[in-house]
Amino acid sequence: MKVGVLGSGDVGKTLGSGFLQHGHDVTMGTHSPAKLADWAKQHPKGRVGSFSDAAKFGELVVLAVKGTAAPDVLRAANATNLAGKPVIDATNPIADAPPTNGVLKFFTNLDESLLERLQREFGNVRFVKAFNSVGHACMVNPQFKGGKPTMFMCGNDEPAKKTVRGILDQFGWEPVDMGKAEAARAIEPLCMLWCIPGFLRNEWSHAFKLLT
Ligand SMILES: NC(=O)c1ccc[n+]([C@@H]2O[C@H](COP(=O)([O-])OP(=O)(O)OC[C@H]3O[C@@H](n4cnc5c(N)ncnc54)[C@H](OP(=O)(O)O)[C@@H]3O)[C@@H](O)[C@H]2O)c1
């Protein structure tokens, strides 16, 4: 697939590399191309452009920017470039405040997730929450003694979720679909839980597994 990755941070770079590794075409989007200079050197097949370039390029788009900046970045990407496309939303609504005893602060609440806010503002974009509940280092081809980890996902559009399930399978995850956009109220705070062992004990190598 042609994949546009919005984001020049660890998540954007890791997923951009992962898509290339798995045979997709990638354009990375950023306001700051210099931040992707090393990535571009390491990935001669990948392209770097503006948020709008990446959104236009992608049949599938990945949103991997700071949660507080997500609406602005989507506006910069231009809604018409994203209309009707599946957009993997890997963001978390982390507030600009330090964690308390290892627990991150969010700017959303349990009755409204960031994904729902984005879905409401950008109604013709097919958002699918995924990749937000694990650290970037484990996002592509995760290896755990406990077996294949679970990636919780949700979104309102079934064909878009089918596309994302395919990507998660390819990247080595067991996708578990938790339903519509409201499920992001539960999936986004998994990021808080995932980070606690990191902040308290500097343990960052784990993932969730749903046992049945
Ligand atoms: N780091 C992880 O392991 C991890 C794991 C799961 C989920 N997440 C979530 O994934 C997202 C990306 O995380 P990250 O660690 O890769 O990087 P990040 O530092 O949270 O975000 C970097 C990206 O956000 C954009 N950005 C930041 N501030 C902005 C502003 N004020 N206006 C416009 N754009 C702005 C940057 O734009 P430029 O490209 O123009 O600089 C860059 O593309 C976050 O929502 C994070 O919570 C992170």
pLDDT bin (cut points 50, 70, 90) of residue 34 is very high
Phi/psi region, residue 84 (left: phi>0; alpha: psi -120 to 50; beta: rest), is left
pLDDT bin (cut points 50, 70, 90) of residue 136 is very high
pLDDT bin (cut points 50, 70, 90) of residue 103 is very high
Give pLDDT, residue 113: 98
pTM of the model: 0.98
Pocket test for ligand 1, best of 30, 66, 114 (most atoms within 8 A of CB): 66
Give pLDDT, residue 180: 98
CA neighbours closer than 13 Å in the CB half-sphere of residue 104: 22
Average per-residue pLDDT in the chain? 98
- Coil, strand or helix: which one is 188? coil
Nearest one of 207, 126, 138 to 163, comparing CA atoms: 126
Ligand 1 centroid, distance to 99 Cα (angstroms) = 17
For the packed helices 70-77 and 114-121, what is the interaxial angle rounded to 10 degrees? 30
